[in-house]
Amino acid sequence: MQFNRYIWDLYRNSPEGRAAIKRDITEHWKVLDNTGDIRQELEFTAEVFGFENIEDGESDILSVNLNNLLHEFTEDILINDSKEADELFIEMVDDGWEIPVNVGEENQWFVLIGGGLEDNTVYRQVFTTITGLSAGLHTAHSDYFIPYFFIKRFDHLTKICHFFGITLPDEPTKQQKRERALYYLEINRVFQAFRHEHGLSPEELNAFLYDFAPKNVKLANTNSLPEASRVWFSIGNSVDFEYLDEANEKSISFWQGNLEARRGDIVLMWCSSPRSYLHSIWRVVDDGFNDPFFYYYNSIRVGHPLKIPPITFKTFAQDPLLGASPAVKAHFQGRSGSALSLEEYQAICGLIKQTGFDTTLLPIAPSELTFGDLTLNNERDVETQLLEPLLLKLGFTVTDWVRQLPVRMGRGQRNYPDYVLGCDLKSGEESAISVLECKFRISSPKELKDAFLQAKSYALRLQAQSLTLADARGIWIFQQRSDGFVFDAFTFKVWKELTHPDILHEISLIFGKKVIDDAIQSRLRTMKAPSKQKG
């Protein structure tokens, strides 16, 4: 839906609306922090590297309140328009600011904020502390900067924008560090335009973002979870140990994860050295998502922790099945966010049982894919028993798709995309709106990347707007962005999800019958449009 002025005015004039508009940003933050839907250890305070004592040049790390620091440093800077506001932020990100800070009665230090052009690693400092940085800029210049409080909640922001018809720019990829540092500016531009379009004050925009919108948009349901579709492995290091030990049944935390993680999935929480043992078992409470302001980028939100007796690395290594796995042989290095097989999970449950723990309390293992009498033995079964029925549900008929379209990709080379939608068959100039590739099973990140690159080559050759990969577990949907098709930007759904009307509708907005037909008509209008003659 679009922003509804009537509903907003009812809220704005209500007691709860007036109270929310009067809140300062620290109160908004406390309300969010007390919702209990995420672990919030950052607040406005951050340990920032790069402090220098002006007397002896000594370097150190000091904890500072970024909201206060940026407010005091920038409040006397004159900003006349949004362009100057952007330039101020870019100056901080690229060139850096040296901000004097008094430590005690006699010592004065300089804190270094930003400066990525000199040290590329500093960009990480900016995007991971954007909450405090944006809060300080907003406090000093509320007309030009919004406080960004969706740290570790980027999926919530995207849901709010989708609900209210607000278009966010494509998020940067994981490796685009400078772009991630500057992405706040792009979000800020979107919401400043939204604010001016609807005549909102800065205080009203804050109330909209952090009170009105979350109350009107279904952001999460952490209580009722579906059955697990997969088991994932996550790692906590020493800074996480205290939190993990104190977690209870109401705890919800944000962790490095995988975009393929679904609500209800099982997460095995491993504590790294010096503990080196399996600590607890959690459940995924929201589908995996990317967060450009999170260091690890790929994200999951987990809850419902179940403490178990520690299962040591030595126990894993001595198990016949687990000890032979590449993950154990590598001592779990780089394995956070990776998937475990059903057999591995069952073996781990066996180890837990040996400790005397009541294994009836453990999450039920994912069931094998079953849809009535379906039996999937090969790629063609995935096509005929899963993908084609999905296309029919999306409004297509069998005459709307072309299977195994011959496409010339190079001299003497022909390739055959499995399915294309919205196809123009003009020889040598073939085009399509959407490309779909099927595999029997995509079992590893490498296999997914290989399948993506294959489908991407077809999609680019055919000028497609979207490409979809399908296997026996689900579908991966990639949409054309301003920077092309990006591997770490996809929507993933398991087949069971696609039986739900709301999920089916979500997919129909990407490559449903109406979307494809509208895109065909748009291309036809572009082709028929008369070219401008030079005068």
CATH number of the domain within which 428 lies: 3.90.1570
With 90 as the cut, is the pLDDT of residue 231 above it? Answer: yes
Neighbours of 464 (CB within 10 A): 29
Overall domain count for the chain: 3
Would you place residue 29 in the very low, low, confident or very high pLDDT band (cuts 50, 70, 90)?
confident
Tokens found for residue 311: 């299962």
- What percentage of the chain has pLDDT greater than the value 90? 62
- Residue 426: the pLDDT is 79
Same domain, 263 and 349: yes
Above pLDDT 70, what percent of the chain? Answer: 89
Beta-bridged to residue 48, according to DSSP, are 62
Tens digits of residue pLDDT in 81-100: 999 999 999 999 999 998 88
Strand 252-256 and strand 266-271: the pairing is unpaired
Mean pLDDT rounded to a whole number for the chain: 87
Tell me the residue range of the domain where 107 lies: 5-216
Residue 388 resides in a domain: yes
Task: For residues 224 and 226, give the distance between their C-alpha atoms in angstroms, rounded to a whole number.
Answer: 7
55 pLDDT more than 60: no
SS3 assignment, position 340: strand
Please tell me whether residues 204 and 287 are part of one structural domain.
no
- Per-residue pLDDT at 222 exceeds 50: yes
Give Cβ neighbours of residue 111 (< 8 Å, ≥ 6 apart): 48, 50, 51, 62, 64, 69, 98, 99, 101
In a domain, 310, yes or no: yes
- What letter represents residue 209's amino acid? L
Domain boundary among 332, 361, 390: 361
Placement of tokens 């409040």 in the chain: 75
In a domain, 532, yes or no: no
The answer to whether residue 202 is domain-embedded is yes
- What pLDDT was estimated at residue 366? 85
Confidence at residue 76, expressed as pLDDT on a 0 to 100 scale: 93
In this predicted model, what pLDDT tens digit does every residue of 308-332 receive, in sequence order?
Answer: 999 999 999 999 999 999 889 999 9
State the Cα–Cα distance between residues 472 and 380, nearest whole angstrom.
Answer: 10
Q: What does the pLDDT read at residue 267?
A: 96
- Does residue 446 sit in the same domain as residue 519? yes
- Which pLDDT value is given to residue 38? 39
Structural domain ending residue among the three candidates 184, 216, 248:
216
Q: What secondary structure does DSSP assign to 12-68, as a single string?
A: HTSHHHHHHHH--HHHHHHHHHTT-SS----TTEEEEEEEEETTT--EEEEEEEHHH
Judged against a pLDDT cut of 50, whether residue 41 lies above it is answered with no
Over residues 212-218, mean pLDDT: 89
Are 279 and 395 within one domain? no
Model pLDDT for residues 88-143, shown as the tens digit of each residue: 999 999 999 988 877 666 666 777 888 999 888 889 989 998 998 999 999 999 99
Are residues 339 and 471 part of one domain? no
In a domain, 484, yes or no: yes
Q: What is the DSSP letter of 334?
A: T
**Are 16 and 140 in the same domain?**
yes
**Do 237 and 211 sit in the same domain of this protein?**
no
N- to C-terminal Cα distance for the chain? Answer: 45
Pick the last residue of a domain from 334, 361, 388.
Answer: 361
Taking residues 445-474, report their average pLDDT: 93
Tokens of 534: 């030079």
- What is the per-residue pLDDT for 411? 63
Residue 362 has pLDDT above 90, yes or no: yes
Q: 103 and 240: one domain?
A: no
Q: pLDDT value at position 193?
A: 96
Residue 366: inside a domain: no
Q: Give the H or E element holding residue 89.
A: helix 82-94
Average pLDDT over residues 431-435: 93
Is the pLDDT confidence value at 173 over 50?
yes
Q: Average of pLDDT values for 185-196?
A: 97
Asked whether residue 531 is assigned to any structural domain, the reply reads: no
In a domain, 319, yes or no: yes
Question: How deeply is 344 buried, as exposed, middle or buried, from its count of CB atoms within 10 A (0-12, 13-18, 19+)?
Answer: buried
Residues 210 and 74 both lie in one domain: yes
Per-residue model confidence as pLDDT tens digits over 376-408: 889 999 999 999 999 999 999 999 999 988 887
Domain match, 248 and 212 both: no
User: 499 falls in which pLDDT band (50, 70, 90)?
Assistant: confident
- Tell me the pLDDT band of 208, cut-offs 50, 70 and 90: very high
Query: From start to end of 356-485, where are the E strands?
Result: 401-403, 407-410, 413-415, 419-421, 434-438, 466-470, 474-479
160 and 275 co-located in one domain? no
Same-domain check for residues 236 and 328? yes
